[in-house]
Structure formats: C-alpha cells, structure tokens
Amino acid sequence: MINLKNIFYQYSKNDNWALQEINLSIFPGEWVAIVGSNGSGKSTLAKLMNGLLIPTRGEIHFFGRNPCNENDLWEIRRMVGIVFQNPDSQIVGNTIEDDIAFSLENIGVPPVEIDKRLTEVMDQFQLYPLKNQSPHTLSPGQKQKLAIAGVLAMKPKAVIFDEASSMQSPKDAQELYRMMSDLHQQGTTIVQITHEMEDLYGCERIIVLQDGMVKLEGKPGEILANTIMMKEAGLIPPFAVRIRDSLMESGYDEIRNAITPDQLVKQICISALKT
Ligand SMILES: Nc1ncnc2c1ncn2[C@@H]1O[C@H](COP(=O)(O)OP(=O)(O)O)[C@@H](O)[C@H]1O
Ligand SMILES: [Mg+2]
C-alpha cells in the first residue's frame, strides 16, 4: 500500500541526509512499528509516508498514487492520517466541532456527509457534549482524542501515530494503545512510531531506524529478543527482556525465549517447579 523505493531525504542542501536508502513496504491492514532513538529519522519518515514531505531522491507510491503529482497529494493525505506527539500542533478550529469539520471541508466532503461524520466521531470519542467548547479547554488526553477524531473522520486507510502517547498520562497512553488495537482489528493499517520499547507487543512487524537508515526489520519476537542490537540502536530493551538478560547472566539459560511479561512469569514458574 505504501511503497518506498531507495528514498533519501535532506531538509536543505547543506544538511546531512535525514534519511538514506530507505526501501520499505507497508502492507494493507498491517500494524507496523517504527522505532529508533531521538534524531534517527522517525518523524521525517512519518511525514514522507503521508505526503507532508516529498523525497529528495527515490520514489514513494501510495496505492499507485505519486505525491509528486499535485492531484494525488490530497488523496494521499486523506488516505494516510497522522497523529503527532503534541496534540496542540494539530488544533485548527475555534470549537471542537469546527476543528473536526475543517479537515473534512479541506478534502471536499459534502456538507451533509460532514454532519454525519461529525456526529459519528464525536460520539465515539465522547466529545459531543463538548462540541461548542474551545479545543484549548481540553485536557491533554482529550486533545489527543480530538486529533484522532479529526483523522478518523477522514476515513483513512492508514493512520500513523508519531510518538502519540509520549505526552500523555499512563492511563491516556493505555487508552490510545487500545484504540490502535481496535483500529487494527477493524482493518485499518497502523504505523506506530515510538522510541519506547515497552509498547511493541501488539504490532506485527518492527522496523528499527538508526542514523536515518533501516538497521533491522523483523517480527517483535526476533527484534525484542536482540538486546545487543537494541542497545546499538540507542534503545532500551523492554523491562521483561532486561529481567530475562539478568536471569540468563545468573545461569538461567532456559529463560532465553521469554520476552513478554507473561512468558517470563510462566518460564520462571516452570523453572521453579523443576528445582
Ligand atoms: N525541520 C528540520 N530542519 C532541519 N533538520 C531537521 C528538521 N527536522 C528534523 N531534522 C533533522 O533530521 C534528522 C531526523 O530527525 P527526525 O526525523 O525528527 O528524527 P526522530 O523523529 O527519530 O527524532 C535529525 O538529524 C534532525 O536534526
Ligand atoms: Mg520524532
């Protein structure tokens, strides 16, 4: 669905490459995570993946559409929604209702259809009673919901979450994660961008970025078990993996394959029963 072929990106002529030699495909309905330390190129990649940035070199296609073609660009932005880390950066309307309506007007949705979609998403995100309120009166969690409501109202095929939970309370972050999971269940393609390795147990594939390049790509089981690689890429392995590593250092080799908290607990119980 999103196809990147030998992509290079540079913010200006004298800058270093923010991204180099990126070859990736995101498939319909997939839940992919893109991870990497600060400055590794995640947000640049996110913006290329919804047409906010155009590659300096290389080709990118969205269902066969090309962002270099002005006519395709709006359709691409409608098909691929993006939710940023700071919800304030996405607020454009004076009221909650206007804020969601604005993005729909922008892509040419007819007024009757706008009303229908507004009601739907405001209901879904419990924003209906607040519809005439200014978005700036909302809590950070509610603002993030508004941003997501605005994106979902466009009925996108894919949604990119660029560190969307990093400014949220643990409770709101958990709710956001559940939302990603529900969207994925309903068939929406999810691109989850994070530097937080604890959040990756739900995704189907992990792409690791380092210095603007793809360092590694694989199933969560493979990537999360690879402590050495995660550390090289400037990432902190998940808590369960760090415990596994400490236990292995103490000689508990049978724990090698336990990388989720559940697997870890199960393996510890099995080992304890044996002794
Ligand atoms: N607007 C910009 N102008 C110039 N350089 C930028 C800009 N945004 C990001 N960069 C540079 O591009 C590289 C990748 O940044 P970014 O994509 O934001 O990484 P991440 O999201 O992984 O933290 C970094 O070296 C960063 O300094
Ligand atoms: Mg970023």
pLDDT value for 71: 86
**What is the CATH code of the structural domain delimited by 2-236?**
3.40.50.300
Residue whose C-alpha is closest to residue 80's, from 188, 224, 176? 188
Q: Residue 58 CB: number of other CB atoms within 10 A?
A: 17
The ligand 1 atom nearest the CA atom of 16: 25
CB 48 within 8 A of CB 238: no
Parts of the chain with a pLDDT under 50: none
Q: Tell which phi-psi region holds residue 36, choosing left (phi > 0), alpha (psi between -120 and 50) or beta.
A: left
- Whether 34 lines ligand 1, by a CB cut-off of 6 Å, is no
CB 158 within 8 A of CB 26: yes
pLDDT value for 272: 79
Alpha-carbon gap, residue 130 to 146, rounded angstroms: 11
pLDDT value for 87: 86
At residue 27, φ and ψ (nearest 5 deg) are -95, 155
CB 210 within 8 A of CB 233: yes
| Probe residue for ligand 1, chosen from 44, 166, 191, 193 as the CB with the greatest number of ligand atoms within 8 Å | 44
| 50 exposure class (CB count in 10 Å sphere: 0-12, 13-18, 19+) | buried
Tokens linked to 247: 């236990």
| Probe residue for ligand 1, chosen from 8, 9, 10, 11 as the CB with the greatest number of ligand atoms within 8 Å | 11
Delimit the CATH 3.40.50.300 region(s) of the chain.
2-236
CB 197 within 8 A of CB 224: yes
The ligand 1 atom nearest the CA atom of 37: 22
> Is 130 in a helix, a strand, or coil?
helix
- For ligand 1, atom 16, the nearest C-alpha belongs to 41
pLDDT value for 135: 93
- For ligand 1, atom 14, the nearest C-alpha belongs to 41
Question: What are the CA-CA distances from residue 33 to residues 25, 61, 192, 200, 262 (Å)?
Answer: 13, 19, 5, 7, 21
Which residues are within 8 A (CB) of 14 and not within 5 positions of it... i.e. 6 or more apart? none
Which residues are within 8 A (CB) of 250 and not within 5 positions of it... i.e. 6 or more apart? none
pLDDT value for 256: 85
Give the max Cα distance, the chain.
70
> Is 165 in a helix, a strand, or coil?
coil
- For ligand 1, atom 3, the nearest C-alpha belongs to 11
pLDDT value for 205: 97
CB 237 within 8 A of CB 62: no
- What Rg, from alpha-carbon coordinates, does the chain have? 20
- Whether 18 lines ligand 1, by a CB cut-off of 6 Å, is yes
Residue 5: what residue type?
Answer: K
Tokens linked to 65: 């559409």
- For ligand 1, atom 6, the nearest C-alpha belongs to 11
> Is 94 in a helix, a strand, or coil?
coil
- Whether 103 lines ligand 1, by a CB cut-off of 6 Å, is no
pLDDT value for 125: 87
| Probe residue for ligand 1, chosen from 8, 19, 43 as the CB with the greatest number of ligand atoms within 8 Å | 43
